[in-house]
Amino acid sequence: MTVRDVVPADWAAIWPFLHRIVAAGETYCYDRGSTEDQARRLWLLEPPGRTVVAVDTEGAILGTANVHRNQGGPGAHVATASFMVDPARAGRGVGRALGEHVIGWARAQGYRSMQFNALVETNTRAVALWRSLGFRILATVPEAFDHPVHGYVGLHVMHRHL
Ligand SMILES: CC(C)(COP(=O)(O)OP(=O)(O)OC[C@H]1O[C@@H](n2cnc3c(N)ncnc32)[C@H](O)[C@@H]1OP(=O)(O)O)[C@@H](O)C(=O)NCCC(=O)NCCS
């Protein structure tokens, strides 16, 4: 598996699984009915942001991540990132590889820390992954996410220094 910059032609392979994850409504504060155009604008970032894909040895796209400034101006030294792994490829280390790549890139760019603003507390797989990559939960905003199965659940703010 390698991680590389996204190119426009990758979108056709990203959209089906990204749509599946967004439409499930369990992990992101995105409109579950987001159109393909809206999702493309949201996901594919221009510099200084960056969007990457994880690909296997045959070039198939396994997952994607984006990373950008969490705030502007005096807050621009803190990065944030988002991750989507094709559910059909889950549990095989793609999320970890994307996480490690994004952390290394953000550090090399001079970001001082990385913050995840809204990690759904029932997303235990993601919470375990980010903890194992050095993030800790700073706070949990109570009942901030309306989960389709669990109802109102908390959103973790997670952070690590780079
Ligand atoms: C969360 C997500 C990015 C993880 O990607 P993944 O490729 O499945 O994760 P990995 O295979 O790299 O597993 C990483 C860690 O997740 C955890 N994990 C994996 N499978 C798990 C499972 N079935 N149950 C609980 N934890 C699990 C483990 O801590 C694992 O660590 P390990 O490498 O020591 O085994 C992916 O499931 C995803 O895109 N989910 C939908 C969108 C989302 O939640 N994005 C993240 C929000 S910030």
Q: Is the Cβ atom of 116 under 6 angstroms away from ligand 1?
A: yes
Going from the Cα of 74 to the center of ligand 1, the distance in angstroms, rounded, reads 32
Q: What is the CATH number of the domain that holds 54?
A: 3.40.630.30
Q: Residue 106: its pLDDT value, please?
A: 98
Token pair for residue 151? 């109802």
Q: Residue 149: its pLDDT value, please?
A: 98
Token pair for residue 158? 């997670």
Going from the Cα of 91 to the center of ligand 1, the distance in angstroms, rounded, reads 6
pTM (predicted TM-score): 0.95
Q: Domain tally for the chain? A: 1
Cα gap 89→101, rounded to integer Å:
18
pLDDT in tens, 20-61: 999 999 999 999 999 999 999 999 999 999 999 999 999 999
Which residue range(s) make up the domain with 136? 2-161
Ligand 1 pocket, mutate which of 129, 133, 157 (most atoms under 8 A from CB): 129
What's phi and psi for 38, nearest 5 deg?
-60, -45
What mean pLDDT comes out for the span 85-112?
98
Half-sphere exposure of residue 123, counting CA atoms within 13 Å on the CB side? 26
- CA-nearest residue for atom 12, ligand 1, is 93
Q: From the CB of residue 69, how many other CB atoms can be counted at a distance below 10 Å?
A: 17
Q: Residue 80: its pLDDT value, please?
A: 98
What mean pLDDT comes out for the span 132-159?
98
